[in-house]
Structure formats: C-alpha cells, structure tokens
Homo-oligomer: A and B are copies of this chain.
Amino acid sequence: MGERPVATLDILQQVVKASPFTDWTGCEVTRCDSGVAELRLPFKKELTQHHGFVHGGVIGFLSDNVSAWAAASVVGDVVTADYSVKLLSPGIGEEFIARGEVVKANKRLVAVESKVYALKEGQKKLVAMGTATILPV
C-alpha cells in the first residue's frame, strides 16, 4: 500500500475546510498519522437534541470521521463502508474529543476502533465506542 499518498494532518485540515458539514459542526482534526486520528469538537447548542445533550447522531458522526481519517493515514483516500457506535453516556460537556485507531489494514479494507469522550469541568468521560470498516478507493 506504500505507493498511495496517505493522509496527513495538513491534508486533512484542508479536507475538513472543504467539507461543509464537518466544518459547520466545528470539528477540528488534531492528529492523523500512523493509523491514529484524533479530533476535537467544542460544544455548541446547534448540535444538541431536546434534552440539551449533543445528539447521538453527532457522536456517531465523530466516530465515523475519526475512523475514516485513521484509515486514511494508512491507505490514503477512503470511503466508509459501515460504522457502528454504542452510546455509553449522554453527550454532556464543553468539548468532545474522539480517537480512532486502525486495528487491521489490507488492500481491501481497514478495520478501525474509536472512542468518543466528553470533557466537562476538567473530567474526561467516555461517551461512545465504535467500530468501522473503511475502504481504500
């Protein structure tokens, strides 16, 4: 897989700016190398559901993004085949961070694990765990 250009932090920061939805959420990629990607998302009210928590669909989106980026750091351009997320705690916090890590990559697909955390008053709480299958394109 070494012949394909892989994603880097610089490249992904450009991609995020060119991605209207990701950019609108305020999601920022903070790491992308060696099969690991990380992001942060500041809380904003527009991301919440009717109880005031960040919507589970947004948490899943973070998991999807960080998984695709982790895969892209190994295999270059990718598309998500599937992602799955367990919502473990309500999305309450001033900021959310997510980390995706490639578990296995080959020419056909990349398996990724992810975690999403909420930061609230200096505490970091696990909000979701996810898995994804990402395809090189």
Contacts and interface: CB of A to CB of B under 8 A. Distances in A.
A75 to B, nearest CB: 14
**Interface range on chain A: under 10, 10 to 19, 20 to 34, or 35 or more?**
35 or more
Nearest to A65: B57
A129 B113 contact: yes
A82 B62 CA distance: 14
Interface string A14-25: 010011111010
A60 B55 contact: no
A97 interface: no
A135 interface: yes
Given A82-B82, A88-B111, 16 more contacts: A19-B49, A20-B46, A21-B46, A21-B54, A21-B55, A57-B58, A57-B60, A58-B61, A60-B60, A81-B133, A82-B87, A84-B131, A86-B103, A88-B103, A103-B126, A109-B135
